[in-house]
Amino acid sequence: MFDVVIVGAGFAGSVLARQLASVAGKKVLLVERRRHIAGNCHDAVDGHGVLVHTYGPHLFHTSNREVFEYLSSFTEWHEYQHRVLAVVDGRKVPLPFNLTSLEMLFPGGMARTLEKKLVERFGFGVKVPIMELIRTDDAELKMLADYIYEKIFVHYTVKQWGVTPEDISPEVMERVPVFISRDDRYFQDTYQAVPRHGYTRLFEKMLDHPGIHLLLNTDYRVIVQPNLERRTMSLFGQPFKGELIFTGMIDEFFDYSLGRLPYRTLDFVFETFEQEFFQEVATVNYPNEYDFTRITEFKHIHARQLPKTTVLREFPRDYRGFDQEGGTPSYPIFQEANTALYERYRNMAEKFPALTLVGRLAEYRYYDMDDIVARALEVFERKFA
Please give the pLDDT value at position 168. Answer: 79
Q: pLDDT per residue over 280-301, tens digit each? A: 999 999 999 999 999 999 999 9
Distance CA 60, CA 76 (A): 13
pLDDT at 249: 96
pTM of the model: 0.95
Res. 61: pLDDT tops 90: yes
Domain ranges of the chain: 4-37+207-260+334-384, 96-180
Look over the chain and give the mean of its residue pLDDT values, rounded to a whole number. Answer: 95
Task: Look at residue 167 in the predicted model and tell me its pLDDT.
Answer: 83
Cβ atoms of 178 and 127 closer than 8 Å: yes
Cα 143 to Cα 117: distance, rounded to the nearest angstrom: 12
Asked if residue 273 has pLDDT above 90, the reply is: yes
Confidence of residue 324 (pLDDT cuts 50, 70, 90): low
Output the pLDDT for position 68: 98
Bridge pairing between strands 212-215 and 28-31 = parallel
Determine the CATH number of domain 4-37+207-260+334-384: 3.40.50.720
- Return d(Cα 331, Cα 175) in angstroms, integer: 15
Q: pLDDT tens-digit profile of 192-225? A: 999 999 999 999 999 999 999 999 999 999 999 9
What is the Cα–Cα distance from 268 to 279, expressed in whole angstroms?
18
Average pLDDT over residues 59-64: 98
CA-to-CA dists, residue 156 to 56, 57, 263, 268, angstroms: 17, 17, 17, 17
> Is the pLDDT assigned to residue 325 strictly greater than 80?
no
Checking if the pLDDT of 176 tops 90, the result is no
Q: Which residue has the higher pLDDT, 320 or 207?
A: 207
Quick one: pLDDT band at residue 122, thresholds 50, 70, 90? very high
Return the pLDDT at 327.
77
